[in-house]
Structure 1
Amino acid sequence: MKTAFLRLHLAVLLAGFTGVLGRLISLNEGLLVWYRLLISAVSLWLLFGLQRKISAIPFRKMLSITGVGFIAALHWVTFYGSIKYSNVSVGLVCFSAIGFFTALVEPILLKRRFIWQELLLGLLVMAGIYVIFHFDPRYKTGILIGLLSALLAAIFPVLNRQLLKTVNVETLTTYEISGGLVTLSLLLPVYLQQFPPDHFWPTWTDLGWLLFLSWFCTVWAFQLSAYALKYISAFTVNLSYNLEPVYGIILAFLIYRENEYLGWNFYLGLLMIIIALSLQMLRVYKARNKST
């Protein structure tokens, strides 16, 4: 359990870089995610293929994994869209709604009862986002897209945990990233027609950041998170990912000085989200001690 938590928080730390990278890379959100998936898929097939860690799976299972990969791809597109329509800090705070959506989605998908403590903690996070939105309507579009991103992110690990019961981490990660690439490739022409980009090809600077995003924040973080899901519930994993905004916001403050454009309401909302995370981790710790 301790190793699982360490891997999980390392994955969260890596994820904290993704918001800043979304602003550093000049491509629009659709192309950014497509290149991220392309580099990650090629890297995974080479890495795990040479190590012979990719197992053959039935076609129906492959379709299921592809579907989950598509959900992950849509989450990333909306996540970066939220950042580009608002800023890094606001986009990352919206991601914290993942706890609330998981408390709703996980019981429905797994056909178990709702846990009121999870719902209350999730509602505290939503209240924090509302405080930011209510007092600062400038970021309305970015916040709405960010909430959609959080909903998609909540669905992904719940489904992923079920797949991990029958498929090893390396195979699952490789097929999910590849499935996300294929399905997003089919959707991308329509998307780019609706949201025309300034340019289609990444600059050399963009390419360097895309490699970092793909190799460290995707391939490695995916593995770490998947291993953690074997021992930790999807709700705890998702709520732990609320630290991603904290890491990302600190980076945004240091690099882009976004703190100069945010009012008191942002910090109040962020404090409410941090309290929700702390209470959940305390609840998990007490439950673990009780069981042992």
Structure 2
Amino acid sequence: MPNAKLFNYLHLHFIVFVWGFTAILGELISIEALPLVWYRMLLASGFIYLYIYIKKIRLIISRKLFFVLFFAGIVIALHWITFFAAIKVSNISITLAMLSTGAFFTSILEPIFYKRKIVWYEVFFGLMVITGLYIIFKVEGDYLTGILYALCSAFLSSVFSLINGKVAQKYNPSMISFYELLSGVGVVTIYLLGMTIFGDTTGGFTISFFQLSTSDWVFISILASICTAYAFIASVQVMRYLSPYTVMLTTNLEPVYGIVLAFLIFGETEKMNPQFYYGAIIILCTVVLNGIFKNAKKTKRQGTLSNITK
């Protein structure tokens, strides 16, 4: 139905906008990256469990799947920790521009993960991404620590997407997300308990850890409910009506939405050197072109198979 497809396409843009707003919340929340992620994952797993309970989704899984989801949970926790750490030590524009390199890391890891050959345009696009990174490094060297954190976050995001790409084809996405979030918050909890036991005064479960301001509670609640639990469940829903290609291209607008929002909200602190935007545009264009090439190749292959079966 055309109306349903249009509604879900607009819904997808709203979801991507919400994902872009995640970085804004990361800047507004005053606590450090580690406790921020702990609160986010704890609350989000609770919200998703509530959805699972209402929908009566089964949570019984095999031991093998549990360990896969457990590892994925650690990866996504580290991804979020480095993501918010990058925002704390640099700014939103730097972090989101670097996060766009996730597609580049995926193009490198995917052939290894799925045991396929590297194609020529992936190498070419990889060189384009490196060019964009070089421009950004050259003009924004003061943000080196933030750039490195964000690149680590992009790499971990790529690893996470490859793991989920395999398990999501066989199992319920809400169940997968619940176990991943719960595993992630479990590992972070153990780490924080270790810091507490060994008397690390810079972290751990201290009294100040649980003394959040009213604004922090509000922003973390929005982050966990709308930007995590809702956005995940809604994104799964729209994928029933839209092609993976449309979803992929639209998702690439997340850094654009985030950078524009950051500039409108935070003003001069998010204004970058013009060359930064040249580098960011090169990276974003590379990601989009990579998706176009992959879709064209997939369409051509499907057309060939269709002709063979006629």
**Structure 1 260/151 Cα, relative in aligned 2: closer, same or farther at 3 Å?**
closer
Q: Of the candidates 177, 199, 207, which is equivalent to residue 173 of structure 1?
A: 177
Structure 2 residue identity aligned to 1:112? R
String of CA shifts for 1:30-63, please: whole Å, max 9, x gaps: 0000000111011111221132113311122112
Aligned partners of 2:299, 2:10: CA distance in 1, in Å? 18
Aligned to 1:278: 288
Q: Secondary structure at the match of 1:56?
A: coil
String of CA shifts for 1:226-267, please: whole Å, max 9, x gaps: 56499738xx84x76442211110001000014764112111
Aligned to 1:55: 59
Aligned to 1:156: 160
Structure 2 residue identity aligned to 1:185? T
Structure 2 residue identity aligned to 1:268? Y
Contact 1:96 1:241 in 2 (8 A): no
Contact 1:33 1:77 in 2 (8 A): yes
Aligned partners of 1:133, 1:108: CA distance in 2, in Å? 28
Structure with max Cα Rg = 2
Between stretches 25-34 and 218-227, larger displacement belongs to: 218-227
Q: Of the candidates 76, 82, 86, which is equivalent to residue 78 of structure 1?
A: 82
Query: Runs of 5+ in structure 1 lacking a partner?
Result: none
Aligned to 1:249: 259
Aligned partners of 2:223, 2:142: CA distance in 1, in Å? 29
What RMSD, in angstroms, separates the aligned Cα atoms of the two structures? 2.9
1:209 shift after superposition: 1.0
1:286 shift after superposition: 3.5
Q: Of the candidates 97, 103, 110, which is equivalent to residue 99 of structure 1?
A: 103
Structure 1 residue identity aligned to 2:94? V
1:176 shift after superposition: 1.1
1:220 shift after superposition: 2.2
Q: Secondary structure at the match of 2:170?
A: coil
**Structure 1 194/103 Cα, relative in aligned 2: closer, same or farther at 3 Å?**
farther
String of CA shifts for 1:172-230, please: whole Å, max 9, x gaps: 11111111111121123457848549942321111111111111111122234556499
Between stretches 194-203 and 72-81, larger displacement belongs to: 194-203
1:169 shift after superposition: 1.2
Q: Of the candidates 207, 212, 233, which is equivalent to residue 202 of structure 1?
A: 212
Structure 2 residue identity aligned to 1:111? K
1:92 shift after superposition: 0.9
Aligned partners of 1:248, 1:131: CA distance in 2, in Å? 20
Contact 1:99 1:122 in 2 (8 A): no
Structure 2 residue identity aligned to 1:219? A
Aligned partners of 2:90, 2:109: CA distance in 1, in Å? 27
1:272 shift after superposition: 0.8
Q: Secondary structure at the match of 2:169?
A: coil
Contact 1:65 1:179 in 2 (8 A): yes
Aligned to 1:131: 135
With the length of structure 1 as denominator, give the TM-score of the two structures.
Answer: 0.87
Aligned partners of 1:8, 1:69: CA distance in 2, in Å? 25
Aligned partners of 2:57, 2:100: CA distance in 1, in Å? 34
Contact 1:70 1:179 in 2 (8 A): yes
Aligned partners of 1:190, 1:257: CA distance in 2, in Å? 40
Between stretches 255-264 and 134-143, larger displacement belongs to: 255-264
Structure 1 residue identity aligned to 2:71? G
Residue 41 (structure 2) pairs with residue 29 (structure 1) = no
Aligned partners of 2:202, 2:134: CA distance in 1, in Å? 28
Aligned to 2:244: 232
Q: Secondary structure at the match of 1:257?
A: helix
Residue 195 (structure 2) pairs with residue 183 (structure 1) = no
Residue 211 (structure 2) pairs with residue 211 (structure 1) = no
Q: Of the candidates 117, 128, 136, which is equivalent to residue 121 of structure 2?
A: 117
Aligned partners of 1:247, 1:207: CA distance in 2, in Å? 24
